[in-house]
Amino acid sequence: MNFTKNYADRLNKIPPYLFAEIDRAITKKRAEGVDVISLGIGDPDLPTPQHIIDALNDAAEDPKNHRYPSYTGLLEFREAVSKYYKRRFNVSLEPENEVVTLIGSKEGIAHITPAFVNPGDVVLVPSPAYPVYEIGTILAGGSPHIMPILSENEFKPNLSEIPGDIARKAKLMFLNYPNAPTAETAGREFFSEVVDFARDNEVIACHDNPYTEMCFDGYLAPSFLEVKGAKEIGIEFNSLSKTYNMTGWRIGMVSGNADVIAGLGKIKENVDSGVFQAVQHAGIAALNGSQECVFENNKIIQKRRDFMVDSLNELGWDVKKPKATFYLWFKTPDCSKSTDFAKKVLDETGVVITPGTGFGKYGENYIRIALTQKLERLKEAVLRLSEFKF
């Protein structure tokens, strides 16, 4: 029997998930014998540092870690998060009630909406953006109000342009800096505007910050929680995935306002059983250990960034060097639609790039490239692209 006709209405409202579509395209091309170079998905190719793997192995040998974990996460892990925020951002967090362990930050982002959004409630969602902000809103029955983030405003939403009635109805607002897909950064001045807007309109600000440690040229990304009043009106999602090359490990954290954290925690108590404790012990080793591995990773990514930006500009593509993330974001060189351009590149070169429209309406005519291949493969990708006719 075909049960697709029985899908819930909310499921039919969700577009195909961008990165699943990219995976399918890669599988199809490889089945055809194509040597695919994927610059599409932000999945680090560098290995997880050895001291983190060793901590996992040691913890996995201990039978006490084989049982159900705490719903909110090991207190030791939440203490490590608290110490990290104090050390890195001078932000004080109470590990008992202002930090919760997540099965990767994506899980927390998806679960914050059912904790606070009733059917028909407004959620402020940037575009272009990580698709889960809008998808989580739809799954909760909420109504996404799109905030365009455009180049003329340095890829930040213009909060003053949000209609007053929409702002007053909004329950949540999603933000993300350093930003995916645009690689744009934000400073404390912008975050202060967000705090004022959220306080004036009684909106919960949800800042997604997984790229905070992936910075170059001496730049250090701030935390939203650094800004005065931020903890009164919001939370910050973070993850070990990109910082320590642990995407498959599925461990992250959310920190900030205790009431908001408790609401998210109530959802988690009823829909998941927490993070495997051995993985949390590995996370403790990551946060408390030497950060030299992070600095070394950033050096590698910076070399890739410099090579790709310089090479693509030599081809006549207009690409700027980002200060953070491992993404390049630029307009299609021929001003074509992003999906058409990305498909043509894949068909003619075997190189996977991500169409900007997959991140929302305002990503049209843009392309994102992820610097998640070794330099040798990037050189091969540039060689293929140099022969590409558009």
Domain match, 270 and 364 both: no
What's the pLDDT band for 10 if we cut at 50, 70, 90? confident
The mean pLDDT of 18-23, rounded to a whole number, is 78
Domain stop point among 264, 288, 312: 288
Domain match, 270 and 379 both: no
Nearest-angstrom CA–CA distance, 52 and 89: 23
Collect all residues with Cβ–Cβ distance below 8 Å to 4 and sequence separation of at least 6: none
DSSP 97-135: TSEEEESSHHHHHHHHHHHH--TT-EEEEEES--THHHH
* 262: its two tokens: 């408790």
Nearest CA-CA partner of 333 in 316, 321, 350: 316
Residue 2: pLDDT over 90: no
What's the pLDDT band for 20 if we cut at 50, 70, 90? confident
Whole-number pLDDT of residue 371: 98
What's the pLDDT band for 97 if we cut at 50, 70, 90? very high
Domain match, 31 and 54 both: no
Which structural domain range is residue 232 located in?
50-288
Residue 55: pLDDT over 90: yes
For residue 312, with 0-12 CB atoms within 10 Å meaning exposed, 13-18 middle and 19 or more buried, which class applies? buried
Whole-number pLDDT of residue 359: 95
How many domains does the structure of the chain reveal?
2
Helix axis angle, 132-139 to 105-116, nearest 10°: 40
Domain stop point among 239, 270, 288: 288
Whole-number pLDDT of residue 356: 96
Residue 22: pLDDT over 90: no
CATH number of the domain to which 340 belongs: 3.90.1150.10
Domain match, 325 and 254 both: no
Nearest CA-CA partner of 230 in 252, 262, 263, 197: 197
Whole-number pLDDT of residue 322: 98
* 225: its two tokens: 């929680």
Nearest CA-CA partner of 214 in 242, 249, 180: 242
What's the chain's average pLDDT?
96
Q: In this structure, is residue 298 part of a structural domain?
A: yes
In percent, the amount of the chain with pLDDT more than 90 equals 90
* 291: its two tokens: 């950060």
Whole-number pLDDT of residue 23: 82
What's the pLDDT band for 111 if we cut at 50, 70, 90? very high
Q: In this structure, is residue 75 part of a structural domain?
A: yes
The mean pLDDT of 126-132, rounded to a whole number, is 97
Ordered strands of the 354-355 beta sheet: 327-331, 366-370, 354-355
Domain match, 129 and 214 both: yes
Residue 176: pLDDT over 90: yes
The mean pLDDT of 140-160, rounded to a whole number, is 97
Residue 13: pLDDT over 90: no
Question: Where do the H-state alpha helices sit in 170-257?
Answer: 188-201, 230-233
Q: Give the three-state DSSP class for 80.
A: helix
The mean pLDDT of 61-68, rounded to a whole number, is 97
Residue 19: pLDDT over 80: no
Consecutive H or E run containing 96: none
Domain match, 358 and 283 both: no
| Identity of the amino acid at 376 | E
What percent of the chain is helix, strand and coil (3-state, nearest 5)? 50, 15, 35
Domain match, 57 and 87 both: yes
